[in-house]
Structure 1
């Protein structure tokens, strides 16, 4: 496991010994990572070393797990009160003079909610990052409110969470969970995590799993029923809390946290398109969010962590690269991600335009933004860009292949040079981006999303746009093929298909088969028509963010794009007849 170089110590408390590991410099803010069920501290082995560059990182095996000893007898030895004693003992040993920052996953989060809401820990906790584990007290009140006022919606929420909690009932049965974990379930658990949860292998979980899981069943038996029946009325957080919710969690509903603001005065929400075991499947994103949150709290600004833009809980801290970001849809998209708190790489062949986009992105919400100059049709330049981005900024979470050029003219007026230019930018630029940055996403193994800007012209034939439409149709099909190939790796692919959008592509488009004067006239007329239509690029940017959040495949934007898409599906012959009409030139 990747905890090499960790300093280990034993902390004695309540008749047991806890195995505690430390990474990083002691003088830095202390971050304590608390693992869940049926894990040991090694569940954090991909997160802890990354955090150790900035913080003093502490991990410990919960009593009865890993290399910590188990209480005797087991019954009554895992109550939240005793687990709180353990936490305080660890905190006093590793950071006696400064409050610590808590991070908990699964049952580690359940415990940490107790630590963060009881009076005797007040002043010892600087912040708490919770993932995949609710407060049992909050959960008990959540259930009580729905039983007292059982509207159809609330009953549905209760039934939904009840179905997700099937394993809790099983763990309350005597003896059977222990036999299962020490037998076939313990043997096959690593493969179950790989197949169902998409958790990478590589030595996780550790060989202590059967014993850890058998002991850990008492976490449920000692606490769940008692707390759900009689939840504390004073379970208010006395420290800022960051809630990270994996949207694909098979065990916990998002609705559990709907009323969390009642209990947490300073709450930052994050969401992640992932399953339950995010310390293993999304370590980079967690490290980014934890680092941002802890740094903000240390600086006295816990309320300033959350960006104000739409989807801030989804994209905050993520790395987004947008090509063609110097103007139009690309610039609007970079701004939209910046407002959502993403880190933005603005790429354009116009260095000044890219720099302006990056500068404005920082002003409107991006914690970091950079400008990069590249011609997307240049394979070698794109390869250098991909290496630089990975080394200096990290692996891209969202890639928006937006750069494109316009070309109008009949097929026989379009020269081979015209064809090459439009295909090099509109198609090969997308291929280069998908191949280079998409490969980095796949190799990282933590998912991501690729957005390719196609066009309504991809499915709406036109006698005036043979080359442009061909390039965009190829982008659409490429996106569909990639979506199928990358689905198993948690990487989404979306083709955005705008219609008539008011950008500068019309004023710079090339018109084949006419002289320079006529080309300028047509450019001005096209720009005027698009201006009268006046569909803003900001709406396309909104559609892009929404498509990433929803994982949509093909997204027509503008009414005419929607109409043409429906016609291409249901009345293609009518669409072919429209294609024969002369364009308004």
Structure 2
């Protein structure tokens, strides 16, 4: 239908409430649990189209234009027509029309979340809501108490939080001025808004926003005028959520401080927190992630309501709020740092693709990852140095599992020996795996991230050998130094697309790389002796790969560029910057083999 632009296959109906006609769109099977999506300001229901289409395979998905927005009619007069009480009437009318016999799972963004907090905390909606997912929109009552607490007992930290949020809320003051917001939206601002979203928020161009934007924004100014001052000055004391709440917190939101939610557990006892490295308009920029989190939360609450054992509880591992539901691919995942990294992401609730050239090892990692906490885990067998095999892997992963959110290029091999003892074939093998394997991963999976336009992160495992020269490791050190520089160059190139790149540089870590490392210029017996001795030395050092895995997750969370791991790696990194002559002197020393 022409009126359902961006919502292909949606069914349309009209719901009457208080003299208003609300335009409602439905997707999916009505016999399944209902997920009701409420849009914000200055949006219409089409802001949810990308999320709705992803949810429609499993749920009955409902969207409606808030009064005065999209194709819904506006109240007359506008003043007093957008109070939270009247918006609650609208919600109940829609819920009764689309799901009369079962409570709905509520999802709100921006002002859709603000009003949904009202729905989730007032008595008259009890029994009509099964769960609530909130993003980029606090309860005005909670906000009011947050302000009062900081004004009653000011400390430097609290005053800083007040001033910080006050600066972020500049647009709220503007929307309270008479006439000017309407003139701006119906004039130049309304025309330029799509380009502003595309440039500032990285919202992909397309069928959003809809042509109704100028009138939507003009009418929506009354959402602020009818509610903000009254609720912030006289917040309700009983604004406790009577449903489980999932909070999705975009860390780059330019309108809302994350400190607004510091004490949210007091108001929402059944709270699940999620964080996302994104800006305000996450329904358009991160629909994949939102759909995954909403699906997990809805299904868990459906199981709980049915009295079934809850299979889909939120992950509780370190950084679970950040990685839950994300798709993570790790190469070299069959053992060592790769396996530990796959397990760490699994504990954080990520979906894991374990890649290794050893099929049995990859399968074991995937099996264990699911037992540890990954909602889903898959094993894939590939030689990362094989370009065509990597291309097929990238195509398969995108088609069957989705676009990767975090890529960890970890696969690598070791080679020791002097430069003149290292043959051309030795050089080729080391560079094919350690460098070209990383290049293939970055090029193929990084390109998918960039084309998706929802950001992501690439982690490349380099080594302390990347900045610590050694006469015994010319080929290995060269390959890792190249990985380090590649990471720095990619980081600069992809920063504007929201894709972070980190180089992890471990020192001596107790893994099986020493048992399989090659030693150039010696016979097989001597090579085996050196492998055993180096394995013993690394074992005595006993730095566990789990600590490297922890550093990898932290690097993604903090978007760190270069991360030396182990004390010797950090020391060598500092020496490479401040005392390079001393490091070169160490490089001339004979290795303990």
- Give TM-score scaled by structure 2 length: 0.98
In the other structure, the counterpart of 2:277 is 273
- Following superposition, which runs of at least 4 residues in structure 1 exceed 2 angstroms of deviation? 301-305
Matched, 1:524 2:528: no
The one-character-per-residue Cα deviations of 1:492-516 (angstroms, maximum 9, x if unpaired) are 1110000111111111100000111
DSSP 3-state at the match of 2:422: coil
Cα shift at 1:215: 0.5
Residues of 2 paired with 1:571 and 1:194: CA distance?
46
In the other structure, the counterpart of 1:461 is 469
Cα shift at 1:31: 0.6
Residues of 2 paired with 1:344 and 1:501: CA distance?
23
Further displaced range: 143-152 or 265-274: 143-152
Residues of 2 paired with 1:179 and 1:290: CA distance?
37
In the other structure, the counterpart of 1:227 is 231
Contact 1:266–1:303 under 8 Å retained in 2: no
Matched, 1:539 2:542: no
In the other structure, the counterpart of 1:432 is 440
Q: How does 1:114-263 map to 2 (within 5 A)?
A: 114-263=118-267
Matched, 1:78 2:86: no
Residues of 2 paired with 1:211 and 1:331: CA distance?
54
Cα shift at 1:152: 1.2
Residues of 2 paired with 1:403 and 1:186: CA distance?
50
Q: How does 1:207-356 map to 2 (within 5 A)?
A: 207-300=211-304, 305-356=313-364
Contact 1:347–1:374 under 8 Å retained in 2: yes
Cα shift at 1:351: 1.0
Gaps of 5+ in 1: none
In the other structure, the counterpart of 2:24 is 20
The one-character-per-residue Cα deviations of 1:392-436 (angstroms, maximum 9, x if unpaired) are 111110000000000000000001111011111101111111111
Cα shift at 1:18: 0.4
Cα shift at 1:582: 1.1
Gaps of 5+ in 2: none
Contact 2:24–2:65 under 8 Å retained in 1: yes
In the other structure, the counterpart of 1:578 is 586
In the other structure, the counterpart of 2:105 is 101
In the other structure, the counterpart of 1:31 is 35
In the other structure, the counterpart of 2:566 is 558
Residues of 2 paired with 1:138 and 1:75: CA distance?
24
Residues of 2 paired with 1:118 and 1:308: CA distance?
30
RMSD: 1.0
Further displaced range: 98-107 or 374-383: 374-383
The one-character-per-residue Cα deviations of 1:341-400 (angstroms, maximum 9, x if unpaired) are 000011111111111111111111101111111111111111111111111111110000
Matched, 1:3 2:11: no
Matched, 1:366 2:378: no
The one-character-per-residue Cα deviations of 1:237-291 (angstroms, maximum 9, x if unpaired) are 1111110000000000111111010011211110000000000000011011111
In the other structure, the counterpart of 2:57 is 53
The one-character-per-residue Cα deviations of 1:101-131 (angstroms, maximum 9, x if unpaired) are 1000000000100000000000000011000
Cα shift at 1:302: 7.3
Cα shift at 1:569: 1.2
Cα shift at 1:208: 0.7
DSSP 3-state at the match of 2:253: coil
Residues of 2 paired with 1:253 and 1:540: CA distance?
32
Contact 1:406–1:506 under 8 Å retained in 2: yes
492, 503, 509: which one aligns with 2:500: 492
Matched, 1:475 2:499: no
Cα shift at 1:145: 1.1
Contact 1:268–1:305 under 8 Å retained in 2: no
Residues of 2 paired with 1:417 and 1:5: CA distance?
57
